[in-house]
């Protein structure tokens, strides 16, 4: 789920459901930017909450009007 959320926000990450080294690097980059107190690259509840809030806040910019 965390990989899918990262991809939805715009990070290039695999969506395999596996916490592989590449995914850990992406998670760490996200954490460095948005949660500098913990940059281990391990998805956790706080990082997921931040990510979901960002998606919720900016998703209207990503939805194209139908007209």
Instruction: Give residue 14's domain range.
Output: 2-59
Confirm whether 67 is domain-assigned: no
Q: Say what the pLDDT of residue 45 is.
A: 96
Evaluate if residue 62 carries a pLDDT over 70: no
Confirm whether 18 is domain-assigned: yes
Could you report the per-residue pLDDT of 36-55, keeping only the tens digit for each? Answer: 999 999 999 999 999 999 99
Query: 10 Å Cβ neighbour count for 64?
Result: 6
Confirm whether 65 is domain-assigned: no
Which CATH number fits the domain that encloses residue 9? 1.10.101.10
Number of domains the chain contains? 1
Read off the pTM: 0.83
Confirm whether 66 is domain-assigned: no
Q: Say what the pLDDT of residue 60 is.
A: 61
Confirm whether 54 is domain-assigned: yes
Could you report the per-residue pLDDT of 22-39, keeping only the tens digit for each? Answer: 999 999 999 999 999 999
* DSSP-assigned letters across all residues of 12-63: ----SS---HHHHHHHHHHHHHH-TT--SS---HHHHHHHHHHHHHHHHHHS
């Amino acid at each position: 789920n965390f990989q899918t959320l990262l991809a939805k926000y715009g990070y290039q990450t695999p969506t395999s459901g596996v916490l592989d080294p590449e995914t850990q690097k992406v998670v760490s980059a996200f954490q460095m930017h948005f949660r500098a107190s913990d940059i281990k690259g391990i998805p956790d509840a706080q990082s997921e909450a931040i990510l979901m809030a960002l998606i919720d806040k900016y998703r209207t910019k990503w939805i194209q009007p139908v007209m």
